[in-house]
Structure 1
Amino acid sequence: MKKLVILGAGTAGTMAANRLSRILNTSEWEITLVDPNPVHYYQPGFLFIPFGVYQEKDAVKPKKAFIPRGGKLLQTAVEEILPSQNKVRLANGETLSYDYLIIATGTDIHPEETPGLAEHEWGKSIHTFYSLEGAVALAGALRNWKGGRLVVNVVENPIKCPVAPLEFLFLADWYFTQRGMRDRVELIYATPLPGAFTKPIASRMLGDMLEKRRIRVEPEFMLMEVNPDAKKLVSYDEREVEFDLLVSIPLNKGAEVIGRSGLGDELNYVPTNKHTLLAEGYDNIFVLGDATNVPASKAGATAHYEVDTLAENFPRYIQGKELEPLFDGHANCFVETGYGKGMLIDFNYTTEPLPGKYPLPLIGPFSLLKESVINHWGKLGFRWMYWNILMKGLPIPFLPAQMSMVGKEKVNWENGGAFAA
């Protein structure tokens, strides 16, 4: 009996377990997931909780509900990974051996890493929506807030779901407008990026949207510390941004066990071949989702396409064949823009978001790099797809793992933003 051990039963780990259980001969393979948390979080839903669109119950389900038939879930933490022995030492004292290991331990926020951030104002004038508890607390803070300066700050990249801070600002603009108090609210986005987003075309378009909605961007703001008493952010170049209400996206780091095991970089992300998803230096360890250091978005869609390519590669690999460089960094994301509309972006390592229709040319039904009502409903409808299709390891029709140029238009920003077929 060959043993496949998956560390982490979140989005990437659960998808991998279910997809591979459909491919591998379960009479020859034992699939074990290890995760100490019994609750599965629908993390894209955290964004909507502060604005009352979702409730806490909409974002949680038991992890055991998604374990594949024949697989098992061990609810314990991982103490250490021992690659030289093909073993994993668990916090409950057990040791698991493996033939192949998948690391899907994710990433989490660490506000304590930034001086002043997690002190006495945390949960009062300083909040986050990057955890369920934080999103619920922020919902209460927004309901009772009378107005002032609201600052959204990204401490450092990479972060989970890079567009989420922008979505929060768009939703905040809509939320305060609906409450008749937008004129009493100043919205500021303090980001370490030179613009609104990592990709130039999308950054320009999103930046224009922020400007039209009177949301100021403070670019290249590298946060050094937070002064909770004076309520201000201080950057390394000594710029200061004052706030009445701070919505923080704290430093994101990989799991501590990755560092303890000597497998990670300075942020505990595993150095990973960006096309095969093998851990660098190991021939039987794959890394998926937010645990990797690949230069792709840390998002559920990215994990989905990683699992798609692993499902194609893994059966060949265990037969002694070479891994194909299948993963191209493909990611797509609905960007909620408020007022019942949304955008959709689709990109990979080498091609940035472009206008067009998705997933079918001419038909769509979704528009790329353009606000539409259909995109908004696509964003909300994704929750059903997540629980009922992705988590069960089912393929999604018309969504290939590799990014397609079908339906996309080329853009030449140097020529005034003209589209070229």
Structure 2
Amino acid sequence: MKQLLILGAGSAGTMLLNHLSKTINAKEWQITIIDQSKLHYYQPGFLFLPFDIYSEKDVIKEGNKFIPPGCKLIQAKIEKIFPGEQTVKLEDGQEIRYDILVIATGSQIAPQEVEGMLGESWQKNIFDFYTFEGAVNLRNFLRKWNGGKMVVHITEMPIKCPVAPLEFAFLADWYFTRKGIRNKVDITYVTPLSGAFTKPIASKKLGYLLSEKSIKIVPDFAIERVDTVNKKIISYDDIQVPYDLLVTVPTNMGDEAIARSGIGDDLNFVPTNKHTLQSKTYDNIFVVGDATDIPTSKAGSVAHFEAEIVVKNILSYMKNQPLRESFDGHANCFVETGFNKAMLIDFNYDHQPTDGVFPIKGIGPLPLLKESRLPHWGKHAFKWIYWNMLLKGRKVPFISPNMSKDGKNLEEN
């Protein structure tokens, strides 16, 4: 029997596993997925943990609940991939052979990449919220914090969910307002980009939100080090931003197993054809989710759209048929702005976020690039959709893996 092996049971790996289990001939192919964790985390929910909007039970479930019948789960740490031999070695020495490999090993924070970030102050007055532990520790800190200088900081791109740091700043404004101490908290948003958003049109149209919420912005900030003694972050051109509380998004890097295997770039992301999601180096390897180096957002929606497309290319590869160059970099994200409001952005490789409606032309019901209550409730409804539909490989009605141009004003792109 031939072997299809998936590395990583996070969002992308689990979604793809469920799609494949419905389409592959189980008499010819054994599907195996490997992940070291017994738990599956709803990572978009980490944003809400620090503000007591979500609790632990909202973001954690047993991972084996999402493994379909007939598929094999191995819970182990991946040591190294040997593409020439078509094997994967696990930490315990076991070697797994494959005919087709899917890399879905995700990305992780690397605070050690910035001098002074990972030290005695880490998880004391310097926090991340991109990990479960970081988000919970930050929540416990904020419950007791009475104010001061809070800096929300991005180290460098790319990062998971590029809008999440901005959402954090907006939610912090709302959180401290509800606590009655907003006047005691100075919020500064520090970014390596030239504007608040990663896309220029969105940044131009929505920059007013920062000034409206009295959030200062420090753009074009390339961090050199963290001075934990004097509580400052310092850039290479000696711009200094003081903090009492630093909420940082460290460098994001691919899994260390990718580095050990010698198949990644400088950040351990795997060079991937951006339209077929096939490895640029090995024909029988496909890459999905945050593990790729493709120029689109590292977000859950992208993993969802990639899974729907790459399953067709894997089937084509099995039949020795040409692959479809059909993935267009489609991403859509709900951007929380606080006070029970949010906005929706929808874009791809060729088109920046623009106004209009989503998903149905002339109907919507969701407005694009416009702050309102409906996208806020849409974002919270996504949690149910994620656990009950996306992870199980069920199609969401009216949502296409490729970006629809209907209902959008694309003239300004």
TM-score, reference length from structure 1: 0.97
The corresponding residue for 1:372 is 372
Q: Is the 8 A contact 1:264 1:271 kept in 2?
A: yes
1:412 positional shift? 3.8
Aligned pairs for 1:127-276 within 5 A:
127-276=127-276
Greater CA deviation, 285-294 or 396-405? 396-405
- Letter in structure 2 aligned against 1:191: T
Q: Is the 8 A contact 2:34 2:76 kept in 1?
A: yes
SS of alignment partner, residue 294 of structure 2: coil
Aligned pairs for 1:60-79 within 5 A:
60-79=60-79
Partners of 1:411 and 1:47 in 2: CA distance = 33
1:313 positional shift? 2.3
- Letter in structure 1 aligned against 2:378: G
Q: Is the 8 A contact 1:21 1:68 kept in 2?
A: yes
Partners of 1:248 and 1:198 in 2: CA distance = 17
SS of alignment partner, residue 203 of structure 1: helix
Aligned pairs for 1:370-409 within 5 A:
370-409=370-409
SS of alignment partner, residue 187 of structure 2: strand
Q: Is the 8 A contact 1:104 1:291 kept in 2?
A: yes
Partners of 2:212 and 2:131 in 1: CA distance = 30
Greater CA deviation, 290-299 or 404-413? 404-413
Partners of 1:203 and 1:72 in 2: CA distance = 45
Give the unaligned 5+ runs of structure 1.
Answer: 414-421
Identity of aligned residues (%): 54
1:299 positional shift? 0.6
Partners of 2:285 and 2:266 in 1: CA distance = 20
1:374 positional shift? 1.0
1:362 positional shift? 2.2
Give the unaligned 5+ runs of structure 2.
Answer: none
Partners of 1:196 and 1:38 in 2: CA distance = 36
Q: Is the 8 A contact 2:115 2:224 kept in 1?
A: yes
Runs of 4 or more off by more than 3 Å in structure 1? Answer: 410-413
1:389 positional shift? 0.4
Partners of 1:277 and 1:313 in 2: CA distance = 8
Partners of 2:312 and 2:262 in 1: CA distance = 29
1:206 positional shift? 2.9
1:411 positional shift? 5.3
Aligned pairs for 1:333-348 within 5 A:
333-348=333-348
The corresponding residue for 1:114 is 114
SS of alignment partner, residue 197 of structure 2: coil
Partners of 2:205 and 2:211 in 1: CA distance = 10
The yes-or-no answer on 1:35 pairing with 2:35 is yes
Partners of 2:290 and 2:62 in 1: CA distance = 21
The yes-or-no answer on 1:17 pairing with 2:17 is yes
The corresponding residue for 2:125 is 125
The corresponding residue for 1:360 is 360
The corresponding residue for 2:306 is 306
1:314 positional shift? 2.2
Partners of 1:91 and 1:410 in 2: CA distance = 50
SS of alignment partner, residue 26 of structure 1: coil
Greater CA deviation, 165-174 or 121-130? 121-130
1:177 positional shift? 1.0
Q: What CA deviation, in whole Å up to 9, does each residue of 1:255-282 have, x standing for no partner?
A: 0110111100000000001011111111
Q: Is the 8 A contact 2:105 2:291 kept in 1?
A: yes
- Letter in structure 2 aligned against 1:40: H
1:311 positional shift? 2.2
- Letter in structure 2 aligned against 1:193: L
1:370 positional shift? 0.5
Q: What CA deviation, in whole Å up to 9, does each residue of 1:339-384 have, x standing for no partner?
A: 0011000000110001111101222111110111110000001000
- Letter in structure 2 aligned against 1:295: P
Q: Is the 8 A contact 1:150 1:246 kept in 2?
A: yes
SS of alignment partner, residue 207 of structure 2: helix
Q: What CA deviation, in whole Å up to 9, does each residue of 1:132-159 have, x standing for no partner?
A: 1111111111111111111001111110
SS of alignment partner, residue 93 of structure 2: coil
1:106 positional shift? 0.3
The corresponding residue for 2:290 is 290
The corresponding residue for 2:322 is 322
Partners of 1:233 and 1:207 in 2: CA distance = 23
Partners of 1:214 and 1:362 in 2: CA distance = 35
SS of alignment partner, residue 410 of structure 1: coil
Partners of 2:277 and 2:152 in 1: CA distance = 33
1:401 positional shift? 0.9
Q: What CA deviation, in whole Å up to 9, does each residue of 1:114-172 have, x standing for no partner?
A: 11111111111111111111111111111111111110011111101100000000101
Partners of 2:155 and 2:411 in 1: CA distance = 31
Q: Is the 8 A contact 2:351 2:410 kept in 1?
A: no
- Letter in structure 1 aligned against 2:8: G
Partners of 2:233 and 2:351 in 1: CA distance = 34
SS of alignment partner, residue 166 of structure 2: helix
SS of alignment partner, residue 89 of structure 2: strand
TM-score, reference length from structure 2: 0.98
SS of alignment partner, residue 48 of structure 2: helix
Partners of 2:287 and 2:412 in 1: CA distance = 36
Partners of 1:410 and 1:344 in 2: CA distance = 16
- Letter in structure 2 aligned against 1:389: M
1:312 positional shift? 2.5
